[in-house]
Amino acid sequence: MKFELETYVVFVSFITSFFAVFLSNGIIIGVPAIAAEFAMNNVIQNWVPTIFFLVVAVFTVPAGQISGKFGVKKSLLAGVIVYLIASIGACLSFSTESFLVFRILQGAGVAFLNVSAMAMVVQAVKPQNRGKALGFTVTGVYLATSLSPVICGFLVFNLGWRSMFYFVIPFLLLCILLMVLKIPGEWKTYEKDKIDKLGSILYGIGILAFIYGFTTLTTPNGLILTILGLVILVGFGAYELRQRSPVFNMKLFKNTKFTSSNIAALCSYIAVMVVTTILNYHFQYVRGWNAQMSGLILIITPIIMAIMAPNAGKLSDRIHPQKLAALGMAIATVALGILTFLNGDTPLYMVVVAMILQGIGMGLFSSPNMNAIMSSVPPKDAPTASASQATMRTIGQTMSLGLLTLVFAWVMGSLELAPQYASMIVQASQIICGICTAACILAIFASLVGIKSKDEFNTKRPND
């Protein structure tokens, strides 16, 4: 059977998107075993997942300009190779320091995966199939979200924590072979531009300070770092507007569809990232379920999202994508509204209904909104648009988890999470779900603003 170029591009994008998320989510299952082997204290243990996300955030925007200048396929290939080397290195780690170094390398590789895979899809796939192709890419993300805890849990329990890293190696090798043998040519859009080194440094320092500060906002240093990060990022934006070859083209935000879709993406990640944790707390601490039972129920939402995403993406090729995005967020708002009243007396079927609605809503939102972001810019700016949506995702996820920390600290102080404090857990969870519902409503309004915009979607490829 002979496959077309577009098929190979979408398949590689699906695999790389899946495994970019696989270890970032699944590593949580293996952290206790890793910490035990290397005798990590609780602070260092928390850095195992955190350092990865910080590195992804720092490298995402520079990855957009680099991939545009040197080629998105070449950048994706480099990202996969770095990720592969780092995964092998993690398997062979002999100390805390060596393991964290390879986690840093993994973060750098994943930053390029996130940006280059999406940009390659946009530039290689026909515009009339773009939404469908992006939908399959998003499906990879959702499947990894739902399956990684199950797969990693099995691997860690039966084969040890290193097996998680061994598991990704053959798939990464497959992607390398497909890119070398089956995806000829290259897509370069910023070939004549100079690399904006100072802009990259300003962005890196600003986003690092903001994200790390927000995760520790309950401390004086966290507040200072958050404010400092915002100030530097504002300065970064002002600096970029004056550059001929900016690392991030701030002028893209003049396009209302691009801006509104990015705002909607940011609000959606703030709203939904924390929901899984809230429900996990509810099942284990309020209802008294074990971790296995809780994990099985929590699969409901991401599985529905994975089913919905490619179909919603395909639909967004025929229907205005921001109309679908607004409808999806409206459904997600209903789900969050139900969870705002979640307590120990809430019938289980109502919780399941909320989870199903969230899955349908986010599945209907994500692919069309992604299509709106990537289609609202000229073809040459696809790497920057891809970097933008990846940045919105990282910031939104971090702020969502930061919100969790802030509200629980305000309600419970330094008390441990335990069944005897179920009433406090319920109170904190209701506050967070209320805030998340408001974020969903903001995402709806952002999508509606984009619908009314007179800006046009781009229906061409770079070589058209």
Length of the chain, in residues: 464
Q: Which tokens is 418 given?
A: 């335990």
Domain harbouring 108, CATH code: 1.20.1250.20
Query: Are residues 121 and 204 located together in one domain of the fold?
Result: no
pLDDT (0 to 100) of residue 1: 39
Query: Are residues 191 and 61 located together in one domain of the fold?
Result: yes
Query: Are residues 226 and 265 located together in one domain of the fold?
Result: no
Q: Which of 187, 216, 242 is the last residue of a domain?
A: 242
Instruction: Note the Cα 345 to chain centre separation in Å.
Output: 33
Nearest to 426 by CA among 235, 282, 259: 282
∠ Cα 286 289 291 (to 5°): 115
Query: Are residues 291 and 406 located together in one domain of the fold?
Result: yes
Query: Are residues 319 and 332 located together in one domain of the fold?
Result: yes
112 domain-assigned:
yes
Q: What is the chain's alpha carbon radius of gyration, rounded to the nearest angstrom?
A: 21
Q: Nearest 5°: phi and psi at 94?
A: -120, 0
Give the torsion through C-alpha atoms of 266, 272, 276, 277, to 10 deg: 60
248 domain-assigned:
no
DSSP string, 60-79: HHHHHHHHHHH-HHHHHHHH
DSSP string, 328-380: HHHHHHHHHHHHTT--TTS-HHHHHHHHHHHHHHHHHHHHHHHHHHHHSS-GG
Q: Are 225 and 240 in contact (CB under 8 A)?
A: no
Query: Are residues 181 and 210 located together in one domain of the fold?
Result: no
Q: Which of 212, 242, 272 is the last residue of a domain?
A: 242
Q: How many CB atoms lie within 10 A of CB 46?
A: 14
Q: Which of 215, 242, 269 is the last residue of a domain?
A: 242
Q: How many CB atoms lie within 10 A of CB 187?
A: 24
Query: Are residues 413 and 390 located together in one domain of the fold?
Result: yes
Q: Note down the domain range covering 281.
A: 253-464
Query: Are residues 64 and 174 located together in one domain of the fold?
Result: yes
Query: Are residues 187 and 205 located together in one domain of the fold?
Result: no
Nearest to 195 by CA among 78, 63, 82, 107: 63
Query: Are residues 139 and 202 located together in one domain of the fold?
Result: no
203 domain-assigned:
yes
Query: Are residues 234 and 368 located together in one domain of the fold?
Result: no
pLDDT (0 to 100) of residue 41: 67
pLDDT (0 to 100) of residue 7: 84
Query: Are residues 115 and 238 located together in one domain of the fold?
Result: no
352 domain-assigned:
yes
Helices 72-91 & 96-124 angle (0-180, nearest 10): 160
343 domain-assigned:
yes
219 domain-assigned:
yes
88 domain-assigned:
yes
pTM of the model: 0.80
Distance CA 181, CA 266 (A): 37
Label residue 219 left, alpha or beta by phi (over 0 means left) and psi (-120 to 50 means alpha).
beta
Task: Give how many domains the chain has, as a whole number.
Answer: 3
Instruction: Note down pLDDT in tens along the chain; length 464 residues.
Output: 345 778 888 888 889 988 888 887 777 777 778 888 888 765 576 677 778 878 888 888 888 888 888 888 888 999 999 999 999 999 998 888 899 999 999 999 998 888 888 888 877 788 777 777 877 887 787 778 777 777 887 888 788 889 989 999 999 999 999 988 888 878 777 777 788 888 889 989 998 898 888 877 778 888 899 999 999 999 998 998 888 888 888 888 888 888 999 999 999 988 887 888 788 788 888 888 876 677 778 788 888 888 888 888 888 888 888 899 999 999 999 999 999 999 988 999 999 999 999 999 988 998 888 888 888 888 777 778 878 888 888 788 778 877 887 888 888 887 777 788 888 989 999 999 999 999 999 999 999 888 887 766 655 544 44
247 domain-assigned:
no
